[in-house]
A and B are shown apart, each in its own frame.
Chain A
Amino acid sequence: MARDDGIADGGAARTLRRILLACLCVGLLAVFVFWRIDSPRAERMRMGVVDALGPLLQRASGPLDFLSEATVDFENFVRVYEQNDALRREIQRLRAWRESALQLEQENARLRALNHVRLAPTLGFVTGEMIGDSGGPFLATGLANVGARDGVEDGAAVMDGSGLVGRVVGLGRRASRVLYVTDYSSRIPVLIRPSGRRAILSGDGARAPRLDFLEDPEGVRPGDRIVTSGDGQVFPPDLAVGIAVVGPDGTPRARLAADLERLEFVRILRYRPDTTIDRPGGLIRNGPLPDAAPLDGEAGEAMDGEESGAAGEAGAPSPEASAGGAQSPVAAAAR
């Protein structure tokens, strides 16, 4: 029997309801454990829901966008004269910079032509609009309206016009979830210029994330530039992060270049790390050297063959292949 307020009243019904509640609790706890153990798969499932609701979310954010834009317009209207003056000064300053940039670009081109520099592969990116924010205190994330169909990959770096925003942690077909650098679980290896010291940028919910594991903090001064170091091969190196500042608690922190509070459009980078050198080349023997290795043609060829074979077994390209078909210098010298 059920009461008019929908609450089961009878003994059996109440017992059944309790069993249902216990099962639900165990199920939800299992979902949480699954999320903790296999976060990427759980995120994919979550992004499936977001994919389905993405268009609705985009439509719902329209009126709120209008509201925020109206607020900004009103602020701009109030400060129009002040802003006009500031913009004039900015234009003058930028004209001077433009000339310098053009000269530097020409000089760069000449130097590259002289040196036959092989540049790192150009970064690709896809631009998307932020359509959602996390509404809770447990996760600092946002939703962008670009996903796997646009070429976004899991773990990709996300930037706004000025600096690093975070990385993709959940990927759907039409949307992706971006974990901001201020989130509690965000850790990014960074480099501080000009001192060249390395640190880990750790989010702790504050607007300026902490700089942990900083080598020799005395060598870092407020105002030093912080960029990504590229360690770990997840982010490309030299992405602007912000500048070093001293936090209210005296710890070194990073004032972010990106404006996380006014994120509207973001660039999600498509980055594939360049060739990595993670093992000795074919010329270097791992084992002890033979006592008297005669450096004649046969020995040289034999050694070369051995190393190639070893590399081949390990699945790495052979020295010949990596050198574009050229013979190893030892073999060449022996001949």
Chain B
Amino acid sequence: MSGAVTGPVAAARRLASMAALGALVLGALLVQAAPMGPLPDGPVPDLAWCVLAFFVLRRPDAAPLGLVALLAMLRDALLGGPMGAGALGVVLATEALRWRARELPPPRSVWGDWVWASLGYAGVLGLQWLLLAVSLGHPPALAALGPHLGATVLAIPLVAGVLRYGLRIGASPRQEEEGRRLPRSFGRNAS
């Protein structure tokens, strides 16, 4: 975590992390929206959600509420889903993940994070479906959401792995534990 440094350096790092989040979500949206042409037709995982969930759980300082809402609106605009409903679901689900990150500081179970991120996405889909049904729209059959949810659940650890080990974002549980074992002056709260 970036807690060891404060002042302008920390602020600059935080801004850089936020910019990285924005760029990564935008990239994920572009990949998600790109037509796959003759590639086999199948459910497309929500890569933008995977990135957002990873940041909120592992780098919550880089994913403030306003930025998450902005990116969620961008997601709705680009992917063409029910406008506002998707963003609302993402904001509420990320707040649930943020609550977990606050209540259970690292080191945390990676499996637990995976389950929470998956449940959060199920909530995002469920809320969109519910709002469409309540507003007399044309919600898809619930069974049609299953493959999409499954693909996203499978994609979460893959995206997390790429972000953590490929792009070196966030800290692994082991590193967090090592950081905690260090003396106070070298640990998380050192200035």
Contact = CB atoms under 8 A, between A and B. Distances in A.
B104 to A, nearest CB: 12
Contacts of A136: 44, 46, 79-81, 86, 148
A143 B79 CA distance: 9
B3 to A, nearest CB: 3
A141 B80 CA distance: 7
Contact of A42 (B83, B101, B137): B83
Contacts of B39: 67-68, 71
A228 B109 CA distance: 56
Highest count of chain B CB atoms <10 Å: which of A20, A29, A137: A137
B43 interface: yes
A64 B34 contact: yes
Interface stretch (B110-118, B138-146, B156-164): B138-146
Contacts of A261: 38, 41
A154 B122 CA distance: 34
Given A7-B102, A132-B78, A185-B137, A61 B35 contact: yes
Contacts of B63: 6
B76 to A, nearest CB: 8
B188 interface: yes
Given A7-B98, A28-B84, A137-B148, A36 B137 contact: yes
B69 A28 contact: yes
A31 interface: yes
A32 B36 contact: no
Interface string A119-145: 000000000001111111111011100
A134 B80 contact: yes
Interface residues of A, number: 59
Chain B binding site: helix, strand, loop or mixed by DSSP? helix
B67 to A, nearest CB: 10
A137 B38 contact: no
Interface string B49-73: 0000000000011111110010001
B1 interface: yes
A25 interface: yes
A293 B86 CA distance: 69
A28 B73 CA distance: 9
Contacts of A56: 26, 30
Given A5-B102, A138-B140, A31 B84 contact: yes
A237 interface: no
A32 B69 contact: no
Given A24-B65, A72-B38, A185-B138, A137 B144 contact: yes
Interface in A87-139: 130-139
Nearest to B124: A136
Interface stretch (A45-53, A268-276, A303-311): A45-53
Residue in B83, B92, B129 with the greatest tally of chain A CB atoms within 10 Å: B83
A205 B83 contact: no
Interface string A1-29: 00111110000000001001100110011
Interface in A34-62: 34-36, 42, 46, 49-50, 53, 56-57, 60-61
A132 B35 contact: yes
B2 interface: yes
Nearest to B29: A135
A130 B33 CA distance: 11
A193 to B, nearest CB: 28
A170 B44 CA distance: 22
B14 interface: yes
Contact of B65 (A3, A17, A183): A17
Interface of B: 1-3, 14, 26-27, 29-39, 41, 43-44, 46, 60-66, 69, 73-74, 76-88, 91-92, 95, 98, 101-102, 105, 125, 128-129, 131-132, 135, 137-141, 144-145, 147-148, 188-189
Interface of A: 3-7, 17, 20-21, 24-25, 28-36, 42, 46, 49-50, 53, 56-57, 60-61, 64-65, 67-69, 71-72, 130-139, 141-143, 170, 177, 183-185, 204-205, 261-264
28 contacts: A3-B102, A4-B2, A5-B3, A5-B105, A6-B14, A7-B102, A25-B88, A28-B84, A31-B73, A31-B84, A42-B83, A53-B78, A57-B30, A60-B34, A67-B39, A68-B38, A71-B39, A72-B38, A133-B34, A135-B32, A135-B33, A136-B148, A138-B140, A184-B138, A205-B140, A205-B144, A263-B35, A263-B37
